[in-house]
């Protein structure tokens, strides 16, 4: 009996489920860090090195892994990535030494970095015409939801089976989803134009060719990701300086993350309906109108504007991801790794100079500068649409 092929909506749902199950392991390290410190007797600084290693792996490996994903029409990275992420993250509380903890963190980071380039690229391959940005927004929201639930999932598994059986319990749903992916998405159809047809002699040349096509979109993504991460980083300091406590900080960050989870769906839908460049231009112009006044005001009006401003920033994620894939359709995974992974990592590196600016000029001045960052993207957008 011939197996009935999965519809495009079914394929999108399967990819979204994979993103959710991959990112639901993203906060295992943060959740179990007190246990790791106590078990290994390490300092907070050395524990912070584990998180830094994960970030470095994403920056260094995602473009290479995206290149490799573009050379295959099979969803091996989408299947293997979550397996490695689940295994590495769930074994961290059992690490017998700091070296082992570094190795397991590397395994988790490598798994996550393996999944994301092909995951984003595969959405572009299976999306119907005219629905790319919205489907990417669904894929992104699935990952955000997984990351939000990750601490609760980690603690629930630990309570259910204990530390020793934690890796086995974590692998069960990932393995089942991997089998479903292999059954229903074992190979991309010819009419989906898999990026495996893209052949260049070496990785460096391939990345250079793709980057020249998407560098304007990448520049927009870097300024976007820097503004978002910086606002999320400095806002708790603003709340503390105003006399707020941890409870107030947690509440504000919760609403910020909730709004930032929903806004990509709206941004993706609007960009498919009215045009990506047009919607992106409006959002980049409107964001400083929220973030700059938020930096100059105080109390509830300031917090509301910060939440709205970061929601606007996040709404551009599926738009830039779709623009990157459309600019390099023969290398969707590579384009996604540059526009999503590399830009996010570089945005994180910007926290150090912005922190120096805050020490020298104060929080208000720094937040005004952060609020103006999206305007730096406008020249790149105009050149693209000219």
pLDDT in tens, 54-91: 778 877 888 888 888 777 778 889 999 999 999 999 99
Per-position DSSP letters for 58-100, written without gaps between them: HHHHHHHHHHHHTT-SS-HHHHHHHHHHHHHHHHGGG-SSHHH
On average, the pLDDT of the chain sits at 86
- Which CATH number describes the domain made up of 8-185? 1.20.1250.20
Q: How far is CA 374 from CA 225, 255, 284, 292, 316, in A?
A: 10, 22, 5, 11, 11
DSSP 197: G
Residue with tokens 């107030």: 248
- How is domain 203-385 classified at the CATH fold level? Growth Hormone; Chain: A; (1.20.1250)
Spatial separation of the C-alpha atoms in residues 41 and 35, rounded to whole Å: 10
Helix, strand, or coil (residue 167):
helix
pLDDT at 188 (0 to 100): 62
Spatial separation of the C-alpha atoms in residues 1 and 347, rounded to whole Å: 51
How big is the chain, counted in residues? Answer: 386
Task: Give the closest residue to 21 by CA, choosing from 181, 204, 240.
Answer: 181
pTM: 0.77
pLDDT tens for each residue of 326-338:
888 888 888 888 8
Domain with CATH 1.20.1250.20 in the chain: 8-185, 203-385
Q: Look at 316 and 261; give whichever has higher pLDDT.
A: 316
């Amino acid at each position: 009996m011939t197996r009935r092929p999965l519809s495009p909506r079914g394929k999108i749902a399967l990819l979204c489920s994979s993103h959710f199950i991959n990112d639901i392991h993203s906060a295992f390290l943060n959740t179990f860090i007190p246990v790791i410190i106590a078990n290994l007797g390490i300092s907070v600084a050395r524990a912070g090195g584990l998180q830094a290693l994960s970030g470095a792996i994403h920056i260094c490996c995602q473009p290479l892994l995206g290149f490799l994903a573009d050379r295959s029409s099979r969803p091996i990275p989408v299947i293997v990535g979550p397996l490695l992420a689940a295994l590495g993250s769930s074994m961290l509380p059992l690490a017998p030494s700091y070296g082992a903890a570094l190795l397991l963190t590397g395994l988790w980071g490598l798994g996550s970095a393996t999944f994301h380039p092909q995951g984003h690229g595969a959405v572009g391959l299976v999306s119907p015409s005219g629905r790319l940005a919205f489907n990417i927004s669904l894929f992104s929201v699935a990952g955000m939801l997984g990351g939000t639930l990750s601490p609760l999932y980690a603690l629930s598994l630990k309570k259910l089976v204990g530390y020793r059986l934690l890796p086995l319990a974590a692998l069960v749903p990932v393995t089942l989803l991997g089998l479903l992916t292999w059954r229903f998405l074992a190979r991309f159809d010819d009419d989906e134009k898999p990026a495996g047809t893209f052949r260049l002699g070496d990785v460096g040349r391939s990345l250079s060719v793709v980057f020249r096509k998407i560098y304007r979109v990448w520049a927009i993504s870097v300024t976007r990701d820097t503004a978002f991460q910086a606002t999320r980083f400095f806002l708790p300091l603003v709340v503390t300086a105003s006399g707020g406590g941890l409870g107030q900080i947690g509440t504000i960050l919760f609403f910020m993350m909730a709004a930032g989870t929903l806004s990509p769906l709206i941004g993706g839908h609007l960009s498919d309906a009215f045009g990506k460049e047009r919607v992106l231009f409006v959002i980049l112009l409107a964001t400083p109108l929220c973030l700059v006044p938020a930096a100059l005001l105080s109390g509830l009006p300031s917090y509301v504007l910060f939440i709205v401003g970061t929601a606007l920033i996040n709404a551009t994620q599926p738009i830039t991801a779709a623009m990157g894939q459309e600019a390099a359709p023969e290398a969707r995974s590579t384009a996604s790794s540059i526009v999503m992974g590399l830009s996010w990592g570089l945005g994180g590196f910007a926290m150090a100079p912005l922190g120096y600016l805050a020490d020298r000029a104060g929080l208000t001045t720094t937040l005004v500068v952060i609020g103006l960052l999206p305007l730096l993207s406008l020249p790149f957008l105009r050149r693209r649409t000219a």
